[in-house]
């Protein structure tokens, strides 16, 4: 069996602000890390591998050349292969263009039965890329997987968490699943794997390697949505700030609650 895991590099800190005067984004440092949900996607792949014979895991990411570091992390955790898809023509890609690019990469890789993605990323928080990749590949997807029940020859049995209920579904390969945080305990990258993989060269794929080479379908050109403006969240102008000793503060809270008739 061949498994593809889609992973992403995200900002390590969520402390991003916009300067109200200049409109410039201010990021707290340039630190990056692997999207936390993707660690669970990788661990899921390694566990499926341990349940089935002859299984290979191929981790892929889309991003600038520096995004290779998340692929290295995946290799040191347990992935067999890793591919970066990178091209300046992918700049400005929204969900549709990102999912389309990744689906083209997956078609380029060609051999796969199962694709595993994290439920969402911590920078976009949309949870849309996984389902859209599946649609572009015309394969089924199962979101929010919280447990892999069984892996059979031609199908996989999973339990998914919806708002007020869980579903147990059996889905035929090839298919895509997105996994919840916490369905397993992701392993750490190991020194042993690092030594094993030290001569491995991460593959890089650009638009020229893809079947669809039309630049209109990638990056900003291939993105139906457009960000017009970014702005800081609105503030209350009537906000009352209360300072003082904890005695005074607790008294104020009681007064506010009494005034508004909650006490």
- Least spacing, CB of residue 229 vs another protein, in Å: 4
Nearest Cα residue to 128 out of 2, 6, 3:
6
**Cα–Cα distance for residue pair 156/247, rounded to 1 Å:** 59
Nearest Cα residue to 218 out of 102, 45, 133, 51:
102
- Least spacing, CB of residue 192 vs another protein, in Å: 29
Nearest Cα residue to 62 out of 124, 17, 143:
124
Interface region with another protein, contact rule CB under 8 A, candidates 40-48, 69-77, 108-116, 244-252: 244-252
Nearest Cα residue to 166 out of 186, 146, 195:
146
- Least spacing, CB of residue 109 vs another protein, in Å: 19
Decide: is 230 part of the binding site for another protein (CB under 8 A).
yes
Decide: is 209 part of the binding site for another protein (CB under 8 A).
no
* Subset of 67-96 contacting another protein (CB under 8 A): 86-92, 94-96
**Cα–Cα distance for residue pair 82/58, rounded to 1 Å:** 5
- Least spacing, CB of residue 65 vs another protein, in Å: 7
- Sign of torsion, CA 132 179 57 65? positive
Interface region with another protein, contact rule CB under 8 A, candidates 61-69, 71-79, 107-115, 196-204: 61-69
* Subset of 32-51 contacting another protein (CB under 8 A): none
Q: CA dist 77 to 49, 198, 202, Å?
A: 13, 13, 15
- Least spacing, CB of residue 235 vs another protein, in Å: 4
Q: CA dist 34 to 42, 109, 132, Å?
A: 11, 22, 21
Cβ nearer to another protein, comparing 51 with 257: 257
Among 2, 63, 73, 186, binds another protein (CB under 8 A): 63
Nearest Cα residue to 104 out of 19, 214, 186:
214
* Subset of 91-130 contacting another protein (CB under 8 A): 91-92, 94-96, 99-100, 120-130
Among 64, 152, 190, 194, binds another protein (CB under 8 A): 64
Decide: is 188 part of the binding site for another protein (CB under 8 A).
no
Among 48, 116, 175, 210, binds another protein (CB under 8 A): 175
């Amino acid at each position: 069996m061949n498994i593809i895991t889609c992973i992403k590099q995200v900002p390590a800190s969520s402390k991003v602000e916009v300067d109200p005067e200049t409109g410039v984004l201010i990021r707290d440092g340039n630190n990056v890390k692997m999207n936390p949900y993707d660690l669970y996607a990788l661990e899921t792949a390694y566990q499926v591998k341990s349940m089935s014979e002859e299984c290979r895991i191929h981790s892929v990411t889309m991003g600038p050349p520096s995004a290779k570091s998340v692929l290295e992390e995946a290799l040191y955790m347990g992935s067999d292969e890793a591919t970066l898809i990178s091209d300046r023509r992918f700049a400005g890609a929204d969900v549709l263009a990102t999912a389309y690019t990744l689906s083209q990469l997956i078609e380029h890789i060609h051999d796969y039965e199962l694709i595993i993605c994290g439920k969402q990323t911590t920078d976009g928080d949309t949870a849309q890329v996984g389902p859209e990749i599946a649609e572009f590949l015309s394969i089924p997807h199962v979101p929010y997987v919280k447990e892999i029940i069984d892996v059979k020859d031609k199908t996989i049995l999973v339990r998914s968490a919806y708002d007020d209920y869980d579903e147990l579904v059996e889905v035929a390969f090839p298919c895509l699943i997105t996994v919840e945080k916490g369905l397993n305990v992701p392993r750490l990258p190991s020194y042993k794997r690092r030594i094993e993989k030290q001569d491995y060269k991460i593959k890089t794929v650009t638009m020229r390697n893809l079947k669809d080479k039309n630049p209109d379908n990638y990056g900003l050109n291939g993105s139906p949505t457009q960000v017009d403006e970014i702005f800081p969240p609105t503030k209350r102008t009537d906000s009352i700030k209360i300072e003082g000793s904890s005695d005074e503060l607790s008294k104020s809270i009681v007064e506010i609650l009494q005034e508004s008739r909650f006490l």
